[in-house]
Amino acid sequence: MGSKRPRRHGERFTCVCCSRPVPTAAYGTRNRNHCPACLWSRHVDDAIGDRNSGCNQPMEPIAITVGRSGEWSIVHRCTGCGQLRHNRIAGDDMEMPLLALALRPLANPAFPLDALPSGHP
Ligand SMILES: [Zn+2]
Ligand SMILES: [Zn+2]
């Protein structure tokens, strides 16, 4: 219990969504847990990097948040237990899937946009 196995260089995991091999060490993070191409993750941690969760279900990227420093994070929701988690984006995450995620609410607004005040009375 609680023993840390040594982190080998070149450790990688297979993306749950697109089956791409993803190295866990990436520019900007040493605990990459999501795919740079489709941004899906997997529920393997209780706390970041501990690999102690028994859930192991795929985690869907559902939103982008911007922190106080202006840094982007991805919000993941576990498809197994529903837990929400924030993850810093990695330096080599692809821009298009990140932008698509950030723009998703604008592309699919939950209310009609023409109901918004126009600012031109
Ligand atoms: Zn993927
Ligand atoms: Zn879970």
Q: What is the pLDDT of residues 20-75, one digit of tens each?
A: 999 888 777 777 889 999 999 999 888 877 888 999 999 999 999 998 999 899 99
With 90 as the cut, is the pLDDT of residue 81 above it? yes
Ligand 1 centroid from CA 22, angstroms: 8
- C-alpha distances in angstroms, 17 versus 9, 39, 40, 48, 60? 24, 9, 6, 21, 9
Number of CB atoms found within 10 A of residue 101's CB: 17
* CB-based contact 87:73 (threshold 8 Å): yes
Task: Tell me the C-alpha distance between 44 and 52, whole Å.
Answer: 6
Q: How far is the CA of 114 from the centre of ligand 2 (A)?
A: 38
pTM for the model = 0.78
> CA-CA distances (angstroms) from residue 30 to 8, 64, 91?
12, 20, 11
Burial class (CB in 10 A: 0-12, 13-18, 19+), 90: buried
Residue type at 117 in one-letter notation? P
The rounded Å distance from CA 21 to ligand 2 centre is 21
Q: Which ligand does the CA of 14 lie closest to? A: 1
How much distance in Å is there from the Cα of 119 to the middle of ligand 1? 42
In the predicted model, is pLDDT for residue 7 greater than 60? Answer: no
Structure tokens at 12: 């990688």
Nearest ligand to the C-alpha of residue 80?
2
**What is the 43 CA–ligand 2 centroid distance (Å)?**
5
Lowest mean pLDDT among 1-5, 10-14, 45-49, 51-55: 1-5
**For residue 102, how far is its CA from the centre of ligand 2 (angstroms)?**
23
- Over range 91-106, report the average pLDDT: 91
Domain locations in the chain? 12-103
Residue 22: phi and psi, rounded to 5, are -120, 120
Ligand at shortest distance from the CA of 78: 2
